[in-house]
Amino acid sequence: MPVTVRSFAKINLGLAIGPPRPDGYHELRTVYQTVALHDVLRLEVARGSGITIRSKDPRVPTDRTNTCYRILELGRDLLKVKGNVVLEIEKHLPVQGGLGGASGNAVAALLALERAAKKQLPGPERLRIAAAVGSDLPLFLVGGTSLGVSHGEEVYPLADLPAVTCVIATPEIGVSTPKAFADWDARMAAAEGGKAEKLTGSAASDRIEEFGRRLSVWLNGVPTKKAERPSSGVPAKGRGRAETQLLDLVRTGIANDFEEVVFPQHPELRDVKRVLEQSGAMYASLSGSGSAVYGLFRSRQEAEQAARRLVKTGIPAQATTTLTRAAYWKQVLG
Ligand code: C5P
């Protein structure tokens, strides 16, 4: 019997890009939030040897370029699994960037392998191999709302916020993440009034430090128990606590820096954000480097209307909800 797991998507509730590092990555700060859209993965260890990846979706690579392949290779060796690891990916998530779909698949595949092997890697070991495969993997070992630091691979769980309705739009536009980072560097260099080679990184450092301060203020206002302390920031007149806490967070001003370089190149993404705002989104933003754009809504009805409005203009969009850490773990392994 194959092991079946769900592999969820994420959005970024703000993302501040810091200076480029000697290792080729950029220092960053972001808040990841898992959402309920998901793929289904089935894994079994069959006779023979190797790693076999199958998917009916032709956009899913079945060779070593698939992040699942790389993590399964590492996991198989560490767990001492003998046989042919066969993984089938039932794709429901958009393949468009910004939602961490491939990264989530890889983590779910590792968890499925552990279950099939009836063994578990120690938590820090899981995080280490996830980070070795990609910056966006470790967040899926935490789930819910989490803070990403370093190049995004170092993750810390934040308060588990109640679920909020959201719309995820996935315009069929490819955004290159490395290029978006390079464009950001050029922008920061210009802001410093110097040439790239004179980049001191101070403008970029200021941004991530400011992100940290804003997040700290928000965390200080998050109730530790129900109805204990009021959340800080935006007054929450007439609103439920669920949307208040998440809204307080996004309204601290922790914007996604990628918007500043991605929107001028793909103005249609800015238009998608506007449609979400005009349709009643309390907050809308690019996720990661895009092209996914999301909006947070007060009600399912409003969200579904917004999604329909986008779909009518040819933009794929779905209404869903954010996923708490508790719900995430309950549903990943189901
Ligand atoms: O870790 P991941 O494979 O997702 O990163 C892909 C590329 O994106 C990296 O090779 C790097 O060029 C860029 N990147 C970066 N800074 C980060 C994350 C990724 O420059 N924080």
CATH number at residue 34: 3.30.230.10
Domain tally, the chain:
2
Domain identity same for 109 and 181: no
Domain identity same for 102 and 150: yes
Q: Find out whether the beta carbon of 26 lies less than 6 Å from any atom of ligand 1.
A: yes
- Give the mean model confidence (pLDDT) for residues 28-32: 96
pLDDT at 313 over 70: yes
Domain identity same for 311 and 293: yes
- Give the mean model confidence (pLDDT) for residues 41-63: 96
- Tens of pLDDT, residue by residue over 96-146, are 689 999 999 999 999 999 999 999 999 999 999 999 999 999 999 999 999
Predicted pLDDT at 126:
98
Report residue 225's pLDDT band, with 50, 70 and 90 as the boundaries: low
Domain identity same for 154 and 261: no
Domain identity same for 205 and 287: yes
pLDDT at 226 over 60: no
Atom of ligand 1 nearest to the CA of 26: 16
Q: Find out whether the beta carbon of 181 lies less than 6 Å from any atom of ligand 1.
A: yes
Q: Find out whether the beta carbon of 28 lies less than 6 Å from any atom of ligand 1.
A: yes
Atom of ligand 1 nearest to the CA of 151: 21
Helix (H) or strand (E) holding 157: strand 154-157
- Give the mean model confidence (pLDDT) for residues 293-299: 95
- b/e per residue 71-83 (b: at least 16 CB within 10 A): bbbbbbebbebee
CATH number at residue 249: 3.30.70.890
Domain identity same for 219 and 113: no
Containing domain of residue 239, as a range? Answer: 165-324
Q: Which residues are catalytic?
A: 10, 136
Q: Find out whether the beta carbon of 29 lies less than 6 Å from any atom of ligand 1.
A: no
Domain identity same for 295 and 206: yes
Domain identity same for 279 and 181: yes
Helix (H) or strand (E) holding 123: helix 123-133
Domain identity same for 178 and 230: yes
Nearest one of 124, 132, 162 to 33, comparing CA atoms: 162
Domain identity same for 170 and 103: no
Phi, psi of 118 (to 5 degrees): 55, 40
Atom of ligand 1 nearest to the CA of 17: 21
